[in-house]
Amino acid sequence: MNRLKSSQKPPSAAFESEPCPMPDIAKLIGGKWKLIILQILIFKGMKRFNELRRMIDGVTQTMLTKQLRALEADGLVKRKIYPEVPPRVEYTATKRAHDLQDMFMAMHDWWVAGQEEK
Amino acid sequence: MNRLKSSQKPPSAAFESEPCPMPDIAKLIGGKWKLIILQILIFKGMKRFNELRRMIDGVTQTMLTKQLRALEADGLVKRKIYPEVPPRVEYTATKRAHDLQDMFMAMHDWWVAGQEEK
DNA sequence: CTGTATCCAGTACGATACTG
DNA sequence: CAGTATCGTACTGGATACAG
């Protein structure tokens, strides 16, 4: 079944010539929690710190902070601090992160399709 | 600039209800070299071990073997061994891996767009 | 040519306690 | 509420040598 003979897909011009630094991309979204953080912020909108904490099963304060800081440094997450007491911090996905929607959709569809085949 | 007000995108039904285990996906493609290996095998077709080794800058034999074995265990890469001397081993992307094309394209486009904005 | 075996370093990850 | 600090562990990634 399924022997690839010559071409399973047409040109796919994108990858033919360029080096396309996948390692760099992996750096951005490679963390254990980054994908799920981004997914939440992109598709569900702004969240506060403890909201995220509750939504992500198994994450600790420490790791959530670290990954959020890394995402912020990479320009994917915007952190807005309200100088109140008790403190309030809101996290939102940047425009750059929102542009990842298509990728997330493709990723999601792929995963779902894989589950159905079982 | 760019304040997200209510909805930057329509339904995006995918993520609304499901948990969507991004951690599981990260497991599959989270390795340092997995993305680039898959990209090569998916878009450029079958490759032998040392071909991959030469195409991927900086990878060592050990790591290439490990990541290929992991991908094989996850059903993303097919390993075909020819009982010859000298030995020959061919690696190809499975159908499941080929279904990742859309995700790779989205990823690539996103990266390119990000570079241009600079 | 295509690996495997060992050993080693760096870092990613995590539990816990403490702070403004 | 939203962190920081500290410390310990697990795992990933890598250099080198060796093998079928």
CA distance A91 to chain B (A): 12
CA distances from A63 to A69, A75, B67 (A): 10, 18, 26
pLDDT in tens, B31-44: 899 999 999 999 99
Taking the complete model, does pTM exceed 0.85, yes or no?
yes
Q: What is the DSSP letter of A97?
A: H
Q: What pLDDT is attached to residue B99?
A: 96
Segment among A12-21, A75-84, B21-30, B93-102 with least mean pLDDT: A12-21
pLDDT grade for A21, boundaries at 50, 70 and 90: confident
Q: How many Å lie between the alpha carbon of B31 and the closest alpha carbon of chain A?
A: 8
Query: Whole-number Å distance, CA B118 to C1' C12?
Result: 30
**Closest nucleotide C1' to the C-alpha of B87:** C1
CA atoms within 13 A on the CB side of B61: 1
Copy the structure tokens of residue A5. Answer: 């003979």
Question: Taking the domains of chain B in order of start, what are their residue ranges?
Answer: 21-117
Q: Which residues from 6-65 of B have any strand D atom under 7 Å from their CB?
A: 31-33, 58-63
CATH number of A21-117: 1.10.10.10
Average pLDDT over residues A38-48: 96
Predicted confidence at residue B31, as pLDDT, reads 87
pLDDT of residue B110: 93
Q: How far apart are CA A35 and CA A30, in angstroms?
A: 8
The span from the CA of A93 to the CA of A91, in Å, is 7
Greater pLDDT, B81 or A13: B81
The pLDDT of residue B19 = 65
CB A52 within 8 A of CB A44: no
**pLDDT in the model for residue A75:** 95
Does the pLDDT of residue B72 top 80, yes or no?
A: yes
Beta-carbon separation of A104 and B15 below 8 A: yes
For residue A2, pLDDT beyond 90: no
Q: Which tops the pLDDT comparison, A5 or A10?
A: A10
pLDDT digits (tens, 9 = 90+) for B5-22: 334 444 455 565 566 788
Q: How would DSSP label each residue in chain B?
A: -----S-SSS--HHHHH----HHHHHHHH-STTHHHHHHHHHHH--EEHHHHHHHSTT--HHHHHHHHHHHHHTTSEEEEEE--SS-EEEEEE-HHHHTTHHHHHHHHHHHHHHHHH-
